[in-house]
Amino acid sequence: MKNITDGYYNELFKCVRAILTTDVHGTTISFNEGICRACEIIVQQTYSDHKVIFIGNGGSASIASHMAIDFWKNGKMKSISFNDGAQLTCLGNDYGYKHVFEKPIEMFAEAGDVLLAISSSGRSENILLAVEMAKIKKCKVITMSGFDDDNPLSSSGDLNYYVPSRTYGLVEIIHLSLCHCILDTIMFGDSNYCGQIERI
């Protein structure tokens, strides 16, 4: 049993160390700089009375709901997700599942909002369409993906985090930890960590 658990956590730590962070131009930046940029984007936009929108499917939907709550409850930032069951089934039935996030973003997103799009595969059509709509609405976009390094989501944002693993659990755990890292850095990080970010 020890070998199994050691192997699992060794692989998890390996994936964490190998996270690829890129900017809007596809330029690779350090993990630390990526976290700092995410914090800067979110702090600047939410301090200007904009909101953070979280989207994802399945396990990623759970992360989206979880973090939308944490960002407003703990971080005191406006944040929402679009995971209400009635809404998802309504939009899926009326427009098709690929539009279940695009449609509410079209209605509720405003220029300057931040979309945080989470997808293990980086290929979910409803996530990709939502990102495109967010860009049309002039939102900032942060993406989190995994699996193949050429997945379209991994190059779609102003800031992109890619986890080099094809194991759902590992990718999801790391995506959740990234969200917590960003929020905790905004709430508790000192000025030496990310420069002079105004703190909540």
Q: State pLDDT tens for residues 2-60.
A: 687 889 999 999 999 999 999 999 999 999 999 999 999 999 999 999 999 999 999 99
Amino acid letter for position 33 = E
What average pLDDT does range 158-165 have in this prediction? 98
Sheet holding 28-29, edge to edge: 28-29, 20-23, 159-162, 140-145, 114-118, 52-55, 79-81
With respect to residue 14, please indicate whether it lies within any of the assigned structural domains.
Answer: no
Say how many residues make up the chain: 200
With respect to residue 162, please indicate whether it lies within any of the assigned structural domains.
Answer: yes
The radius of gyration of the chain's CA atoms, rounded to the nearest angstrom, is 16
CB 137, CB 111: distance < 8 Å:
yes
- CATH no. for residue 62? 3.40.50.10490
Helices (H) and strands (E) in the chain, counts: 8, 7
pLDDT at 3: 81
Number of domains in the chain: 1
With respect to residue 194, please indicate whether it lies within any of the assigned structural domains.
Answer: no
With respect to residue 37, please indicate whether it lies within any of the assigned structural domains.
Answer: no
With respect to residue 127, please indicate whether it lies within any of the assigned structural domains.
Answer: yes
With respect to residue 141, please indicate whether it lies within any of the assigned structural domains.
Answer: yes
pTM: 0.93
Determine the structural domain holding residue 127 and report its residue range.
Answer: 42-188
pLDDT at 70: 98
Residue 80's nearest CA partner among 90, 91, 69 is 69
Does the structure show a pLDDT above 70 at 194? no
Could you report the per-residue pLDDT of 81-140, keeping only the tens digit for each? 999 999 999 999 999 999 999 999 999 999 999 999 999 999 999 999 999 999 999 999
Residue identified by tokens 């997808």 is 119
With respect to residue 174, please indicate whether it lies within any of the assigned structural domains.
Answer: yes
With respect to residue 117, please indicate whether it lies within any of the assigned structural domains.
Answer: yes
- What percent of the chain lies above the pLDDT cut of 90? 91
